[in-house]
Structure 1
């Protein structure tokens, strides 16, 4: 079994899900009492979120590169960045580290295309929804047609993530708002919805959507297990 390296803490609420999902999957595939070999470097999301909103992506790149180097020194054999938004800096990490990097958008796209879908909607932070680093990878590398919510809906999605979900707050009114946004996207032709923030699955599940949801946390964790057991 290979050792999985996790860059976590963004937020720890979703990183805890990664840890649980990976270990459960290894146990299911190998049988009890097997568990995964994992090294995690968990960051302070307060610092990360401040730098994100300040637009200081150079400082963020330095932090993530240092984290990847720490994982490699600790014996990790791959890098799993436990956040969608910070994949904005995936190229910088890959350039700085010799370890295989499991890109969250690539494995999400694989899950979508395996179901024969071509048009999907993307939910996430405003960085993920509005900037090109994520959507362009889905369209240019994988041929998907990706739509995003309207501006007001994007602001509400982002607010719920940063004000509620990263703090472990699950509020029913926010769940209702997400359901309504998903319904509008389905009416625009989205065949599926990418939960492109690792905290969103803490709030909504397939029961909240009439179209398939693609939980990037679950998909990414499964890809890490595939690597570890390959």
Structure 2
């Protein structure tokens, strides 16, 4: 089994879910006593969040590169960034290490294409929804048409992530807001919706949407299980 290096703590709520999914996946594939061989670097998310909202992406890149190198030195043989937003610096992280980085977009897009969808809605932080690092990979490498919510909806989705979900706060009001945003994406032509923030799956359920939802956290973790158990 390969050793999975997890760059987590962004937030720990979703990192805990990654850990559970990885171990459940290995157990299901390898037997009742099996569990994932993994290393975790967990950031203090308050530091990361402050740098994100200051726009100091150079400092954030340096932090992720340091974490990736630490995990590689510790014996990790495959690497995960356990957050969608911080894939903004995935290229720099991959260039800094000699082990493969499993990009969160790729297993998600693969499942979407296998299901036959081509026009998708994207929910996530404002950084993920508005900047090109995520949407461009979906469209240019995977041939998907990406729809994002309008200005007010993007602001609401972003606020709920940072003020509620990263703190483990789940409310019916927030769920109703997300349901309305998803409905508007469907009205705009979305055939499916990507839950493009690793905390959204804590709030949104399949019955909150008229179209299929693709949870990046689960798909990323399951792809990591495949990589870890693959025959060399």
Q: Shorter chain as normaliser: what TM range?
A: over 0.9
Equivalent residue runs for 1:22-171 within 5 Å: 22-171=22-171
Q: Secondary structure at the match of 2:10?
A: coil
What is the match of residue 202 of structure 2? 202
- Output the TM-score relative to the length of structure 2: 0.98
Q: Deviations over 1:180-223 (max 9, x none)?
A: 11011111110100000000000011011110000000000001
Structure 1 residue runs of 4 or more that deviate by more than 6 Å after TM superposition:
none
Q: Tell me how far apart the structure 2 counterparts of residues 226 and 184 of structure 1 sit (CA, whole Å).
A: 35
Q: Secondary structure at the match of 1:170?
A: coil
Q: Tell me how far apart the structure 2 counterparts of residues 59 and 99 of structure 1 sit (CA, whole Å).
A: 22
Q: Tell me how far apart the structure 1 counterparts of residues 147 and 215 of structure 2 sit (CA, whole Å).
A: 17
Q: Tell me how far apart the structure 1 counterparts of residues 15 and 6 of structure 2 sit (CA, whole Å).
A: 8
Structure 1 residue 68: Cα displacement: 0.2
What is the alpha-carbon root mean square deviation over aligned residues?
A: 0.5
Q: Tell me how far apart the structure 2 counterparts of residues 35 and 96 of structure 1 sit (CA, whole Å).
A: 28
Structure 1: runs of 5 or more not aligned: none
Structure 1 residue 141: Cα displacement: 0.4
Structure 1 residue 170: Cα displacement: 0.3
Structure 1 residue 107: Cα displacement: 1.2
What is the match of residue 219 of structure 1? 219
- Output the TM-score relative to the length of structure 1: 0.99
What is the match of residue 10 of structure 1? 10
Q: Secondary structure at the match of 1:193?
A: strand
Q: Tell me how far apart the structure 1 counterparts of residues 78 and 47 of structure 2 sit (CA, whole Å).
A: 25
Structure 2: runs of 5 or more not aligned: none
Structure 1 residue 15: Cα displacement: 0.3
Structure 1 residue 31: Cα displacement: 1.4
Q: Tell me how far apart the structure 2 counterparts of residues 218 and 106 of structure 1 sit (CA, whole Å).
A: 13
Paired residues in the alignment total 230
